Structure 1
Amino acid sequence: MKKAFWDSLRAQLNEDPPVYDHAIKLLGEIKESLLSFLLPGHTRLRNQINEVLDLELIKQEAVNGALHIPKLADFIIGMMGTLCAPIRDDDIKIIRGITDVVELFREIFAVLDLMKLDMVNFAISSIRPHLMKQSVDYERKSFQEFFDKQHGSLEITTEWLQEAASELLSSDAETSVYGGAAAGAKDISALCPASVLNHAYVKLLKWDHANRLFPEPVLMDQSRFEEMQRELNQLTITAAVLLVIYNMTGAALSGLSGFLDRLKRVIKVLLTDMHMLSFHLSEAMVSMSEQICVEVNNCLSQHGFSLLSTEKETVLKGQIQAISSPDNSVHKLIDARIQTFLKTILASSNPKSVAIPGGLGPVRNELEEVTVKFLHLVNYNKLVFSPYYDTILTKVLKKNGSQLPGLSEEEQLSST
């Protein structure tokens, strides 16, 4: 349809004499787009656009054979260069070099669409803090009505936070969560409330949705947490398989980004239906191990290396298939590193500075995408429901008058 649209314009312009009906309509649309970018104080620019792109005058010039589209295009491109954001300067330069009239119109409309998107994004960024404040107030008010109906009891949330505190308390590796207490301390009041809450959020990514109710403050976001959980489960398997492959093949295949991308595509295809009840991971891992060995041998052959021996191939297949078990050591290692990474991100004042743990480098981009979504969702949830979490954690940690450390509401609004 797009091709037919522009072919129609070309056909009219190629007639003898040229027919400008289609072109004049496009000039009218361009004029309206340019006018839409102007602020009330842009009187001089508005007058220039109305004067040069006077459609009645243009129609008369077309009838008399005096219409010169390239001259109008120069004015339009110049006006676009004046009104566009700096990021569009390169696009404007490209348009200036186009001589074909139809292609010129096509590119002008493409850049105008980008300029409209820039304008919308700027408007949204300007009013975002106000929208966020209203959204937070509305959600908190709505939840308070629900809270009142529950007679001030959030049993599932309390159980969720209590579990998080107990898990941190029993973990020798989580010594950093103790607020000044020595490693191995057994006083629950010594736990840092912020660490408990962050650990609780990460627990939501391992939730048994089929058999457990979701905590009340995150109930509206349950589908989003489920989606992220599926993505992380797939990334865990992917990273574990890649770790096994590169440990087995050594330096022969390291640094071949094209091969890494191909392996990830193969793994992703075989894990596509991982979230379905009919999916059997163990069966998929058998197929994956067979395909991976074929890919590895093909790559080794292409780069002049010796193929995997029968013994190594058998070992590689066995290690890949074993990853299907959550108790597999490689599976557990990757899973633990992802969870630690997410908790570190939540606790960091500068998430971008947090380094990707070893073994997760091959899935860095995919992990960062999920992390950004997780961080936005958690930060907003904290912003809305922190008063309720604070009250529950105060009771859970048996620490009267404790408050969750963190940013002020205004700062949280800004960061969110």
Structure 2
Amino acid sequence: MALETSAEKPAPLRQISQLLDGYIARLGAVWVEAEIAQLTRRQGVCFLTLRDLTAKISIDATCSSMILDASPTPITEGARVVVHAKPTFYSPRGSLSLELREIRPQGEGELLAQLERRKQLLAAEGLFDPRLKKPLPLLPRGIGLITGKASAAEHDILENARLRWPDVRFVVRHALMQGASSAADVMGALQRLAQDDSVDVIVIARGGGSIEDLLPFSDEGLIRAVRAIAKPVVSAIGHEPDVPLLDLVADLRASTPTDAAKRLVPDVREELAGVASMRERASMAIRAILERESRGLAAIRSRPVMANPLTVVDLQESVIHDARDRARRSVTHRLDRSSDEIGHHLARVRALSPLATLERGYAVAHLADGTVLRSIDQVAPDVEFSVRLADGNVGVRTTETTGKDEDHG
């Protein structure tokens, strides 16, 4: 029922606020299309300002940070979205807001979400693995170029590459760089260049454009075709911020077509300057070595031994002579000591020798069988035996024997 009021019977403001709260609560959750004009995060809660796509109408909204984080693509200011929201009215301040329950990106955001899902699936297969990247040749014999006919990208690559290396050779294959059949056309040109033995590296180049314009270069078939060929592929699509999936699978990603030309071939002027610099450094190094060795030879030649090489020989000769003299003295001294020792031993032997005893007037009597006579009982009268003197033997015969007692008597 309509609220009846008049100047005499006005309704309290609180009643109007309560009625508005009730009317809005009965509206329930609705799907709303809008643009995010402002976005602020505070302690797990997001505060947004939603703006109509055509009219100058905006409404504040709130949601949990988890709702924004669940979006397949980042939600940022300026993004076009469709939200599932419950309108709420805050009675104390009389403000209307939306309590967001779901956010879905639309337009460009939806395309980005699709590309993100495709990127994750292809990455899970390992198509973007850095270990699969093939190195570019230092100086390719031929460069295959896939680009639009008479495009700025073709002009930039050819002109900049030839300025850097005039003898560079290109094999150009034109293809559609935009539209529904662009990916298939690029894949056909890619296969033809992959079979050309004169081509060492392939470049796919296009100027900048919108996300929709660059969609062919995120085509799954093109991505798999680039990974399948054996030759390295360079991606030069759009500008620095543009990152189609071709950039991820290519063996080298160039930020622009001009950057691709700089990466494909070296700068002949820089290379010549480098060669000249290396020659100069090599010459300086050789001169330094020669000067160091020359100084070393001069130092060696200035040594006394080089002025008179026999000095070392004379020194060693003196050492040898001294050693020889010491050896002779040592041997002579040893011989003298040994001679004295032999003389002493000989004197002792002579002193103990039976012959020396005989020389003092003693004699030794012994029978024919060599038995030494020590008693008269060992001989009988008329027995022959020998007497050993200092200078020989005397044969004797006994005539009689006399004992000690008889002799003293």
Fold similarity call, TM over 0.5: no
Query: Shorter-normalised TM-score: what interval?
Result: under 0.3
Provide the TM-score with structure 1 as the length reference: 0.21
Question: Which protein has the larger Cα radius of gyration, Structure 1 or Structure 2?
Answer: 2
Answer 1 or 2: higher relative contact order, Cα 8 Å, separation at least 6.
1
The structure in which a higher percent of residues are helix is: 1
